[in-house]
Amino acid sequence: MQLSMGIGYSGGHKKSAALVRDLEKAGLDVAWVAEAYSFDAPSYMGYLAAVTERVQIAAGILPIYTRTPTLLAMTAAGVDALSDGRCIMGLGASGPQVIEGFHGVPYDRPLARTREIIEICREVWKREAPLAHDGPIYKLPLPAGEGTGLGKSLKLINHPVRPSIPIFVASLGEKNLELTAELADGWLPVFFIPEKAKAVFGPSLDAGKAKRDASLGPLQINAGGPVAIGEEKDVAHLRDLARPGTALYIGGMGAKNKNFYNALVRRYGYEAEAEKIQELYLAGNKKEAEALVPQELLELTSLIGPESYVKERIQAYAEAGVTILSITPLGGDPVETVEKLKSWVA
């Protein structure tokens, strides 16, 4: 099992990059760089490529609506070249509020877009022939009657470092997860509960894997949560640090009837809590919403407790199919945490 970690830069990109270098030496395998509606991810990924040597540099995630499929392929190939083959391209649909509100692009057909983007990116990287794609959404070149009529099939000028760059997809819905299991190299779930994963995600994963090309290899799963190692009385309170973020996702990360995270928590069995959290959050009562986040949910989506307990949680994630343990160290030196966990998962 590998170790991954989301990399923030609230204290500045240079300070963050210095931490990544230390984490790399401690054994971190994957550094995820978020985008959302902050600074773009690829700029910082390129910077990390220049100051690190081994750690994989991953976009977590690039929204599928904000770049053309070809630009996504070019960007991943560029970071892969800068890093000598250490790029992972994370893709996701984001949500209507960000895509339509911040980018001004219609949020439509996420499944079909994801499929075509993956197909186009892999054709660009293989560079076997001038790019031609005739899908329901993307047509390359544009056909007669659209545009100027001067479009020409082209190949990527540069030869990519790798003919195939890993694509991980952030998906939660049943059909999107099925698509992920069919086409992607890896899956990026959120609020992953190992004990409930098979019941909630199993049918979609099985349906997708049944159509999966064997050449892709096994589907990688990147999941985990906050980590703190210590006596229960000393670290239990750290679980509550996830309350604000969890309430945000369940209650406010999407519209009333279009919140994928809320739907997931309902599928986990917290229907009443999810409904009330959303009601309170959308009404502006954030603290009340945070207080209603189930303690059990916080515990099952974290690795916080004594060494023996954390080791048990790691084993639970492994048994649920997780191949890359995603961690957020709390209440201590993150470098020491990575060193310790690396010795346990290696």
Task: Report the alpha-carbon distance of residue 345 to residue 334 in Å, rounded.
Answer: 16
Predicted pLDDT of residue 275:
97
Name the average pLDDT for the chain.
Answer: 97
pLDDT attached to residue 257:
86
The model's confidence at residue 313, banded by pLDDT at 50, 70 and 90, is very high
Q: Decide: 186 and 167 in contact? Cβ < 8 Å.
A: yes
Is residue 186 classed as helix, strand or coil in its secondary structure? Answer: strand
DSSP state string for 22-74: HHHHHT--EEEE--TTSS-HHHHHHHHHHH-SSSEEEEEEEETTSS-HHHHHH
Tens digits of per-residue pLDDT, 154-199?
Answer: 999 999 999 999 999 999 999 999 999 999 999 999 999 999 999 9
Give the pLDDT confidence score for residue 53 in this predicted structure. 98
User: What letter represents residue 235's amino acid?
Assistant: V
Q: Measured between alpha carbons, how far is 171 from 161 in angstroms, rounded to an integer?
A: 28
Per-residue pLDDT for 346 more than 90? no
What is the structure's pLDDT at 331? 87
Report DSSP letters for 251-302, one per residue. Answer: IISSBTTB-HHHHHHHHTT-HHHHHHHHHHHHTT-HHHHHHTS-HHHHHHT-
Burial class (CB in 10 A: 0-12, 13-18, 19+), 331: middle
Query: Is the predicted pLDDT of residue 97 greater than 90, yes or no?
Result: no
Distance CA 28, CA 8 (A): 15
Yes or no: say if 103 and 66 are a contact pair by the CB < 8 Å rule.
yes
Q: Mean pLDDT over residues 83-99, rounded? A: 95
32, 186 Cβ separation under 8 angstroms: no
Contact in structure between 45 and 17 (CB atoms under 8 Å): no
Which conformational region is residue 344 in: left (phi greater than 0), alpha (psi within -120 to 50 degrees), or beta? alpha
Give me the mean pLDDT over the 72-95 stretch. Answer: 97
Helices (H), 149-284: 174-183, 194-209, 232-235, 243-247, 260-267, 271-282
Instruction: Answer for the pair 339, 346: CB distance below 8 angstroms, yes or no.
Output: no
Question: Does the model's pTM come out above 0.85?
Answer: yes
Tokens of 78: 């560029």
**pLDDT attached to residue 66:** 97
Residues 6+ apart with CB under 8 A from 307: 229
User: What average pLDDT does this structure show over 48-64?
Assistant: 98
* Rounded Cα gap, residues 298 and 57, in angstroms: 28
Q: Say if residue 256's pLDDT is above 90.
A: no
- For position 244, what pLDDT does the model report? 97
